[in-house]
Amino acid sequence: MEAVVKKFPEKPEDAIVERPSRAEAEAAVETLLRWIGENPKREGLNETPKRVVKAYEELFGGYRHEPAEVLGRTFEEVAGYNDVVLVKDIKFHTHCEHHMVPVLGRAHVAYLPEGRVLGLSKIARLVDMFGRRLQTQEAMTAQVADALMDTLHPRGVAVILEAEHLCMSMRGIRSEGSSTFTATYRGVFADDPAQKESILRLAGCTS
């Protein structure tokens, strides 16, 4: 008898996951309602499974888009400008992949152009796209930086995220008001401490 060889994905995240139907998703929400001790058939909850699934379509809409699509075209007419571009205080929300509880924060994103620049709204859209996925803050920080490097090919990128994790505020340690700071640097920002310090200062992350 010949051996049967199955090819498994190199990483678990590479596996193709079959997407359930809307009806199956709504049934899953109803199951959770019953699990917490609620009656999903009472008036206030009767339409909740449909509402939750519809809300999830919006909250996790980032899976339907890719960075190249969101960033779109770049521009070469910069009149000789080759200094830092920094977009501060981009408000975002995401959900932690461990508890599926909201994370609320601000992003500061900077890059040093190499002859091409982006429309400023594209950076905010990129942050929003990655936010509308299940995330860890560390991974989201790196994803924004890598997407900019891969698409724009600048001399450097710096991404700083500050966020409050409601999984810490609402459960577990219940540490209300605490914030988490993550930062990643690519290119000259990683190689030159003075460049890194200037971005932290411009973003208001140093005293």
Summarize the confidence of residues 188-198 as an average pLDDT: 91
In 3D space, the residue among 175, 150, 8 whose CA is nearest the CA of residue 66 turns out to be 150
Summarize the confidence of residues 109-113 as an average pLDDT: 94
Summarize the confidence of residues 177-188 as an average pLDDT: 91
What are the tens digits of pLDDT across the range 121-131? 999 999 999 99
What are the tens digits of pLDDT across the range 155-173? 999 999 999 999 887 777 6
Question: What is the overall mean pLDDT for the chain?
Answer: 88
Active site amino acids: 96-99, 137, 165, 167
Confidence at residue 8, expressed as pLDDT on a 0 to 100 scale? 40
The pLDDT of residue 144 is above 60: yes
Binding residues for Zn(2+): 96, 99, 167
What are the tens digits of pLDDT across the range 5-44? 334 445 556 666 788 999 999 999 999 999 999 999 999 9
Whole-structure pTM value: 0.86
Q: Structural domains in the chain? A: 18-59 (1.10.286.10), 73-202 (3.30.1130.10)
Confidence at residue 183, expressed as pLDDT on a 0 to 100 scale? 95
Percent of the chain with pLDDT over 70: 88
Confidence at residue 134, expressed as pLDDT on a 0 to 100 scale? 97
Residue 162's CB is within 10 A of a number of other CB atoms, namely 19
